[in-house]
Amino acid sequence: MRRGRRSGLYTLVAVHSTALGPALGGCRMWGYGDTRAAVRDGLRLARAMTLKAAAAELPLGGGKGVIMVPPGAPVDAERRRAVLLDFGDTVEAFDGRYVTAEDVGTSEPDMAVIAERTGHVSGLARARGGSGDPSPWTALGVEEAIRVAGERVWGDASLAGRSVAILGLGGVGAKLARRLADAGARLVVADIDPARRATAEALGAQWTTPPEALAAAVDVLAPCALGGVLDEDTVPALRCRAVVGAANNQLADDTVADQLAARGILWAPDFVVNAGGIANIAAELDPGGYAPERAEARVRGVAATLRAVLAEAEAAGVTPLTAALARAHRRLAAAGS
Ligand code: NAI
């Protein structure tokens, strides 16, 4: 963790594991109330990245970058550039053990600024030889996962007529909404940013408040905003049959998986469902470089991973979370030896 000499703002990098490869994880730019909250978030997100890469059988470890901006006060363009350069220096200090990418609050042009200070940047624009913004790929992976949940719960992977509530209509949420609408799903959507309402209306989706979206009577709830949305207060209010979304760290803690199972709600582990973005980035490491066709096949692999996790959970009589953690830990243990 460092205080940037250009911006005066704190940036941090958390490396959770390099057992399977360099620790890859996006850079989150967010208004945290205090540095402890930022550190806690960075550490939790880094662990989730380890599990995600391991469960998806990617040659990557887990890490995360965080840029702490003042809460509620927008950062002007000059200071934004300054803090991105400061973050680039923090990344460079890890000498390749951490590789950054986009996450909440950062975008493809931001990666180009970070790349002025370090070579350990993925998700650069296609024109620069990178794999580009991962969010469309994450959305594709989430769609695949919703279809797999459909197979399990209703014996039908089709999205036509399926009702889905999407919480968070940002980079991933909006692209997921478009994909689901095109496939014939009925959508209820919410975001704390009122500017997203236009996107909802353009899709013919019903716009509502975040608490109402969370408790909507729908087939599937897709959390696509920030983490911690499922806890002992929100789970009893859910009226969906399955929860399948992009947000990292959806559960306030691991015991919430048991509460969801007890209510008969299928929770598809977030780190399995949202691996599409990192699967696309991993294609940058392929011999010969990034090729979208190969990347797409890997992203669609989210379906096979989730199918395997749900089958293992059923066979062992455990929650999908327990089965997914066991899968990730098996792979990490094999690498450790
Ligand atoms: P984003 O920043 O583009 O979108 C997040 C959206 O959620 C914003 O529109 C924001 O206004 C909204 N939001 C924030 N708090 C909210 C709340 N309490 N209720 C409703 N809406 C709220 O971020 P992005 O990239 O779409 O990521 C969404 C989630 O998916 C994050 O948890 C991220 O870590 C995760 N994820 C993203 C990946 C990617 O490829 N971008 C890959 C894997 C996971």
Check which CATH number belongs to the domain holding 154 and give it.
3.40.50.720
Ligand 1 midpoint to CA 35 (Å)? 21
**Ligand 1: which atom is nearest the Cα of residue 134?**
40
Q: Which of 44, 60, 110, 138 to mutate to test the pocket of ligand 1 (most atoms within 8 A of CB)?
A: 138
pLDDT in the model for residue 147:
98
Average pLDDT over all residues of the chain = 96
Ligand 1 midpoint to CA 274 (Å)? 11
pLDDT in the model for residue 227:
87
- 284 falls within a domain: no
Q: For the stretch 56-92, what's the b/e string if a residue is b when 16 or more beta carbons lie within 10 angstroms of its beta carbon?
A: bbbebbbbbbbbbbeeeeebeeebbbbbbbbbbbbbb
**Ligand 1: which atom is nearest the Cα of residue 28?**
34
Could you tell me the pTM of the whole model?
Answer: 0.94
**Ligand 1: which atom is nearest the Cα of residue 246?**
30
Give, using CA atoms, the residue closest to atom 17 of ligand 1.
Answer: 192
Give the domain-ending residue among 128, 156, 177.
Answer: 128
- Domain identity same for 239 and 271: yes
- Specify which residues 12 forms β-bridges with: 66
Give the domain-ending residue among 102, 128, 154.
Answer: 128
Ligand 1 midpoint to CA 314 (Å)? 30
**CB of 8 closer than 8 Å to CB of 2:** no
Ligand 1 midpoint to CA 195 (Å)? 15
**CB of 221 closer than 8 Å to CB of 173:** no
- 283 falls within a domain: no
Q: How far is CA 254 from CA 151, 176, 231, 232, 321, in A?
A: 25, 26, 10, 11, 8
Ligand 1 midpoint to CA 139 (Å)? 11
3-state secondary structure 148-165: HHHHHHHCCCCCCCCEEE
Ligand 1 neighbours, Cβ below 6 Å, are 102-105, 134-135, 138, 167-173, 190-193, 196, 210, 224-227, 246-248, 274, 277
- Domain identity same for 226 and 260: yes
Give, using CA atoms, the residue closest to atom 23 of ligand 1.
Answer: 104
d(CA 146, CA 78): 41
Determine the residue type at 241.
R
**CB of 189 closer than 8 Å to CB of 169:** yes
All residue ranges of the chain with pLDDT < 50 are none
pLDDT in the model for residue 129:
86
The parent domain of residue 108 ranges over 2-47+61-128
- Domain identity same for 193 and 153: yes
- Domain identity same for 146 and 252: yes
- 19 falls within a domain: yes
DSSP states of 64-92 as a string? EEEEE--TTSPPPHHHHHHHHHHHHHHHH
**Ligand 1: which atom is nearest the Cα of residue 135?**
40
In total, how many domains does the chain have? 2
Q: What is the dihedral of CA 257, 332, 225, 183, to 10 degrees?
A: -90
pLDDT in the model for residue 337:
55
- 52 falls within a domain: no
- Per DSSP bridges, beta strands 98-99 and 206-207 are unpaired
238-275: pLDDT as tens digits: 999 999 999 999 999 999 999 999 999 999 999 999 99
- Domain identity same for 123 and 146: no
Residues annotated as part of the active site: 64
- 111 falls within a domain: yes
- 40 falls within a domain: yes
**Ligand 1: which atom is nearest the Cα of residue 102?**
41
What's the CATH number where 87 sits? 3.40.50.10860
pLDDT in the model for residue 250:
97
**CB of 220 closer than 8 Å to CB of 241:** yes
Ligand 1 midpoint to CA 167 (Å)? 9
Give the domain-ending residue among 100, 128, 156.
Answer: 128
Give, using CA atoms, the residue closest to atom 24 of ligand 1.
Answer: 171
Q: Which of 44, 50, 51, 103 to mutate to test the pocket of ligand 1 (most atoms within 8 A of CB)?
A: 103
